[in-house]
Amino acid sequence: MSAIPAFEKYPFEIAWLQEGNGEGCIITFPTPPGYIASGATERDAIAQARSASHAWTASTVENRKTIPLPHSATKKSANDSSDALSLDTQ
């Protein structure tokens, strides 16, 4: 089995919330889809994302689900099987 990629390997985008939508910033990750964290400051948002990442990874491993590998700016192909780390040992 391959090593699980570190949180820091996953690219993310930071956006500052506009007035009327709250304060602080929000972080979104393309991998895994729908992965979002927020905080009052950029440092807080990253800490929240790191904490959520550890919890999500532990749950994914425990449930023997597939962990998506970090995507780079360019993807090899839609059918590339190296986009995920399978935890199925059967």
Other Cβ atoms within 10 Å of 45 Cβ, number: 22
Position 19 scores a pLDDT of 67
- What tokens were used for 23? 């304060």
| Dihedral in degrees, nearest 10, Cα atoms 67, 72, 16, 46 | 50
Position 44 scores a pLDDT of 92
Position 85 scores a pLDDT of 46
pLDDT in tens, 10-63: 888 888 887 666 778 998 887 776 788 999 998 999 999 888 888 888 888 898
